[in-house]
Structure 1
Amino acid sequence: MSHHHGQDHDHDHPDPEPEDPTGTTGRHGMLVFGRDVIYFSHLAMYHVPHNYQAVFEVDPDDGVRERIRSHRHAIPQEPYDTFDPVPFPMAEIDPAGSGPRRTSIRGNLYCGHFERRARGTEPLARDIEVRIERVARFTELDVNAQATGDGPLEYLCFGHGDRLYLAHAIGGWPNFDQILEVHAVPGTATNRMGEPLPDDASTMERFFREHFTTADPFDVIGRSDDPDHRLVSHEVVGGSFLATSPPSGIHGFRVQLAADREVYLEIGELAHPMG
């Protein structure tokens, strides 16, 4: 099943916006997750214009936020919501882009995966506008790049407040898209030589609550980057933040992260380029 690029649209949306010099306009379906802080994660594919890994913080109005928090998920295997937007240029999300920045997107909110619902399924919320607050990650995927399989298993760590997440860093195909809710195991942070950090426990706890408003790479020690070696719920793994400085200012550190639950996993859609 191919995502959000076919002609079989429903007719809940107005016509797409005109004129897109970037060539990135599309019906960019989004995973929706979070509680106090709500995130969208673009449902990426190896197919232009959907070849982007983008995770960003959003601010829906209070009624929509409460609906996201409180509704029961109809399908236990899909413990998330999705957002089916009016087509828009994905390049306008890029915080490093040269064009105008997009401040909101409009569309319908669904329980579970909007493209896997039976026809006629009612949205949780229809034709809503969601403000874009902060982009945690924006990366263009090379649709021609094949995975080598010899690199470390790499995730992107983001979140603040009461939740911390890992998103698998999508590289060449075949690949997988995965979001996990995690927490740092207290007392396990060391420098890159394995020596305990000089930062005390409360300092590190505050660091993990406040630092990751944008995503930092986290390499899992001793694992190759393929779906068979991915993290699973309730697993504890050691890994390295090679480019992240803890409060003491040491460059790079290691820590154990515990996977509390898997929010989302997609393997098949990223197995090969869509032609």
Structure 2
Amino acid sequence: MTTTPEADHTDGHEHIHRFLLLGKKKLFFYHLALYNPQSGHDYQAVFTFTIKDNGELRDMYLKDLAQHENERVYYSLRCPHHFELPELRKGKTFKVHLERVVVDKAGKRTFQQMTTGETTVECKKEDVLSFRKLGDLPYPEYLTYLIFGEGDEIHLAHQLAARPNWDEAVTITPSKAIPPETLKKVPTLVIDAIQDAHGKLEESPLKKGQQYQGKIKGNGDTADFTVGRQGWWNHTSLNN
């Protein structure tokens, strides 16, 4: 197994993109962003991709996830070949490796390559669910996430507003179904019981197993949910 040092993730000039894998029933992909505009990674984006390998990568991911479900272990697709992220908005085919991202007690991440050969991934225009360049969004008053997913498997990604900040992805279980047409728009979910930190945090304000309520777009329908597995956390290299 190949182990990739964390420094590669912050090496902006190489433009080596990573996308988190979120979900079990339907996979969603979340771009790992960096605020530095010189990095080529200063975009918060959510995708659905088609992995062209007859399900082999998906099966490897799900089997490994089952073994590490209760650990600080995340999963990403690493793109070893250079391209500019906005190219995905026009549709693109690219190559990836599956990685296991292991976080130790000190919070240091190690990226462990799981696949040997490169896997082909297709991104169609309609696979780009949300795409925003960082740098022009002020801190919100209350804790704000992007919400996306399908059925009873819903994901939240902390909205990357002003810098410094923290990046987080977490899977939640809603108490009632959220309309698919709402989720496809990847709206914000505002938790007005918790004020935004207006800075970076070292641990999530959402605690696993606890229940919260959010409002779609801050003033729309309410969504009650229970917090499940954390799929990503970064308050360090994000802000460099």
Which sections of structure 1, spanning at least 5 residues, go unmatched?
Answer: 8-23, 95-100, 187-204, 244-250
In the alignment, the residues of structure 2 paired with residue 112 and residue 222 of structure 1 have an alpha-carbon distance, to the nearest angstrom, of: 32
Letter of the 2:76 partner, please give it. Answer: T
Contact persistence 1:84–1:108 (CA under 8 A): yes
Aligned to 1:66: 59
In the alignment, the residues of structure 1 paired with residue 152 and residue 217 of structure 2 have an alpha-carbon distance, to the nearest angstrom, of: 24
Cα distance, 1:33 vs. partner? Answer: 2.3
Contact persistence 2:10–2:237 (CA under 8 A): no
In the alignment, the residues of structure 2 paired with residue 125 and residue 252 of structure 1 have an alpha-carbon distance, to the nearest angstrom, of: 46
Whichever structure has more strand as a proportion of its residues is 2
Letter of the 1:39 partner, please give it. Answer: F
Alignment of 1:262 with 2:230, yes or no, is yes
Cα distance, 1:215 vs. partner? Answer: 0.7
Cα distance, 1:129 vs. partner? Answer: 1.0
Cα distance, 1:161 vs. partner? Answer: 3.5
Change (3 A) 1:265 1:122: closer
Cα distance, 1:253 vs. partner? Answer: 1.6
Aligned to 2:3: none
In the alignment, the residues of structure 1 paired with residue 204 and residue 68 of structure 2 have an alpha-carbon distance, to the nearest angstrom, of: 29
Larger Rg: 1
Alignment of 1:153-172 (within 5 A): 153-172=143-162
Contact persistence 2:23–2:171 (CA under 8 A): no
In the alignment, the residues of structure 1 paired with residue 119 and residue 222 of structure 2 have an alpha-carbon distance, to the nearest angstrom, of: 41
Cα distance, 1:259 vs. partner? Answer: 1.0
Alignment of 1:87 with 2:86, yes or no, is no
Cα distance, 1:87 vs. partner? Answer: 1.5
Alignment of 1:130 with 2:121, yes or no, is yes
Alignment of 1:118-267 (within 5 A): 122-133=113-124, 134-142=127-135, 148=139, 151-186=141-176, 205=177, 207-208=178-179, 211-226=182-197, 227=201, 230-242=205-217, 252-267=220-235
Would you say how many aligned residue pairs link Structure 1 and Structure 2? 219
Cα distance, 1:5 vs. partner? Answer: 4.7
Which of 35, 49, 52 lines up with 1:46 in the alignment? Answer: 35
Aligned to 2:11: 6
Contact persistence 2:98–2:113 (CA under 8 A): no
Change (3 A) 1:81 1:125: farther
In the alignment, the residues of structure 2 paired with residue 113 and residue 6 of structure 1 have an alpha-carbon distance, to the nearest angstrom, of: 19
Which sections of structure 2, spanning at least 5 residues, go unmatched?
Answer: 1-5
Q: Which aligned runs of 4 or more in structure 1 are off by greater than 6 angstroms? A: none
Aligned-residue RMSD, C-alpha: 3.0
In the alignment, the residues of structure 2 paired with residue 40 and residue 220 of structure 1 have an alpha-carbon distance, to the nearest angstrom, of: 23
For normalisation by structure 1, the TM-score amounts to 0.69
